[in-house]
Structure 1
Amino acid sequence: MNNNEEFNTERVDDIPVLLAILERMGIQKLLDKHFITHGNWQGISLGWLAVVWLSYILSQADHRLSHVQSWVENRLETLSICTGTAIRALDLSDDRLQAVLRYLSDSEVWQKFEQELGANLLEVYDLKAERVRLDSTSASSYCGVNEQGLFQYGYSKDHRPDLAQVKVMLATIDPLGMPVATEIVAGNKADDPLYCPAITRVRATLKKTGLLYVGDSKMGAIQTRGFIQEKGDYYLVPLSATQIPESVLKYLDEREQKGQELTAVYRDLDEGLPTKIAEAFEIEVNQTIEVEGKEITWKEPIFPRIAISL
């Protein structure tokens, strides 16, 4: 036995599992395909750098740049073996991570990457997309406002109008919750105009129609509903009084006063047996709008009253 033999001990934790999942998703290959780095770029590729960085974020639940290099330095052997490439601690320095963020901030290139990644995930995990949920949210920060930046003063859902915020629109496959399209805009932007671009990107990724798009009342704008209908898709949204024709509201008031008989709604649940899940009544409203220079007309079903069975 050689008493002078040295041993190096590293914490493996969940790193191999995370890297294997990220590799199966194809993130490294797609990043290197779409984001072309400068000719003077040295060390591991942008794709591998991003994958190692993501494994750090997921493993440590920490998004700060300043701790990544030291974390990598203590796991060089593990990371190099799992990725199949020689990794140095300097490859994940603060400067290099900031360079990655600059490359990924190219919105046009990101959309192409996101589209191909989404299609790849559907194929890898054999997902059958039928419903898509869309919603926007905002995140506040003490960073202040930059006229050219994303953080701006706007309507605050957190009741903090004194803080700058950024807004995020997210489209996910239901019920899995897998993101299909993500849009980050300035915090002072309105929500309504964000839905159609997100739906366009979902269609480009999933390459199918007949989907049900589910959203809140902000998705209920008539132009958004027409945009969804025009391509043969469906929508489910709660409509406010301003989004329903006045003639329909008057008709509903009359029906409310007379009393409206409800129809039972059944669905196959446990063991395929029909189970009553709600009682409702439905009316149809003729809608006509212009979408991309073309006039479209459709019959829109409205459910003024629904009683859910628990």
Structure 2
Amino acid sequence: MEQTTIERVDSLPLLIAWMDQMQIAQTIDQHWQPHRGWTGLSYGQLTVLFIAFVLQQREHRLSYFADWLQQHQHVIHATTGWTLGPKEGTDDRLGILLQTLGSNAETLQAFHQQHGQHLVHAYTLPTDVARYDTTSFNVYHAPPEPGQRDHALLRFGFSKDQRPDLLQFKQALGTLDPAGVPLISQTLPGNGGDDPLYVPAWREFVRILGHTNFVFVGDAKAACLRTRATIAHGAGRYLFPLPMTGEVPTLLRQWVPRPPTAIRPLHLPTSVDDPTLREAGKGFSTWRHMQTTVEDGTVVTWRERWLVTYSPQQAQQQQERLHTRLARATAALQKLRPKAGERAAAVLERADAILAQHRVEGLIQVTVQETAITQRRSGKRGRPAADTVVVIK
């Protein structure tokens, strides 16, 4: 009697087809060759199926992969022509695969370059704007063994989630605008800073794209003077928001009341779906001559264009947040009571801590006064007699 089995197709053929167009399996197999005892699917083929499993099931646990393969073996064979062995997706094989792909940084970098170049040429992607950003992820893992700490990705570091007690790793992503196509993906130790990452990322973009004629966009952590100088020295372009440190606050206090150039309106870019020109704010630009020493000791001098912009929407949001902080700080100050025997300086110190907590220093003035209270005591019980000695405290 013939037995009928039913397999869910879902998005599996589509995912595999897209990865086939991206040549993921072919590129991986060019850079990583399995050892002699490896049989069945190649590293590239197994990687494609594991990526499809993660995307379709939203699941990354290795032990679930083998059952998923068994449940979709006919769909996979019909889509790819690959024959799946009985132990094709065991967690041991996946562990070997993942360890191999992540063990050699130079090979991984070469893979990213070739894969990124293929995406740019295959899909004729625009290469005018490239973005790079990092974030950290906390994990509930045991600390690495002493002999593994020098090479471990999970480290203790500054936690943006206010959980310094948890291990974390850092993930970096470099994409192309406007589609957000990822070209650079890096998993980094969680105890490092972001500043040293931007110059290598820019150089990686240059190798992938084959030119420096693109705008490299990053956050304020990318605006380190040496980073900007290195990119300018390499004939690159960048767009970074400057942090409110150093000479920046002083320059803004000079420029904003008396702009050095004419103020111009700023408009949002139009699109085919929305061709209406919408004003987003106003601003002005000015040029500054910059000079610093880069990593190899070269003194770099270049002209830098500074953009000073004003957004009514952002200003309104900042005002609302400021009023909220002022209200919360005022409420906390009104609840402040002196402790027994506490002097005015100690109370004022606690009040200053409240102002710092709500970031309203200099916006609320706190005054603490000490009032001396004089008490007459006889030192004995009952009403004092006329000749009783009175002690004044």
TM-score, structure 1 length as denominator? 0.90
Which one scores higher on RCO, CA 8 angstroms, separation ≥ 6? 1
Corresponding residue to 2:306 among 297, 302, 305: 302
* Deviation, structure 1 residue 144: 2.5
Corresponding residue to 1:42 among 39, 47, 56: 39
Which consecutive unaligned segments of at least 5 residues does structure 2 have?
315-393
Written as runs of structure 1 = structure 2, the 5 A alignment for 1:151-300 is: 151-242=154-245, 246=247, 250-258=250-258, 262-266=263-267, 269=270, 276-291=279-294, 292-300=296-304
Aligned residues, how many? 304
Work out the CA distance in 1 between the residues paired with 2:305 and 2:253: 17
TM-score, structure 2 length as denominator? 0.72
Identity %: 32
Determine whether 1:52 maps to 2:53.
no
Cα 1:89–1:199, aligned 2, differ >3 Å: closer, same or farther? farther
Task: Indicate conservation of the 8 Å contact 1:267/1:275, yes or no.
Answer: yes
Task: Indicate conservation of the 8 Å contact 1:166/1:186, yes or no.
Answer: yes
Task: Indicate conservation of the 8 Å contact 2:259/2:284, yes or no.
Answer: no
Work out the CA distance in 1 between the residues paired with 2:204 and 2:188: 15
Corresponding residue to 2:129 among 118, 131, 135: 131
* Deviation, structure 1 residue 175: 2.1
* Deviation, structure 1 residue 298: 1.2
Task: Indicate conservation of the 8 Å contact 2:281/2:309, yes or no.
Answer: no
Cα 1:56–1:249, aligned 2, differ >3 Å: closer, same or farther? closer
* Mean CA deviation greater in 203-212 or 81-90: 81-90
Specify the structure having the higher radius of gyration (Cα).
2
* Deviation, structure 1 residue 258: 4.9
What residue in structure 2 maps to residue 145 of structure 1?
143
* Mean CA deviation greater in 261-270 or 10-19: 261-270
* Deviation, structure 1 residue 197: 1.1
What residue in structure 1 maps to residue 89 of structure 2?
92
- Aligned amino acid, residue 141 of structure 1: V
Partner SS state of residue 282, structure 1: strand
Which consecutive unaligned segments of at least 5 residues does structure 1 have?
none
* Deviation, structure 1 residue 32: 0.6
Task: Indicate conservation of the 8 Å contact 1:264/1:278, yes or no.
Answer: yes
- Aligned amino acid, residue 54 of structure 2: I
Partner SS state of residue 27, structure 2: helix
Task: Indicate conservation of the 8 Å contact 1:217/1:240, yes or no.
Answer: yes
Instruction: Render the CA deviation track for 1:140-192: whole Å, top value 9, x for unaligned.
Output: 01103222311111000111111000012211112211111122221110110
- Aligned amino acid, residue 203 of structure 1: V
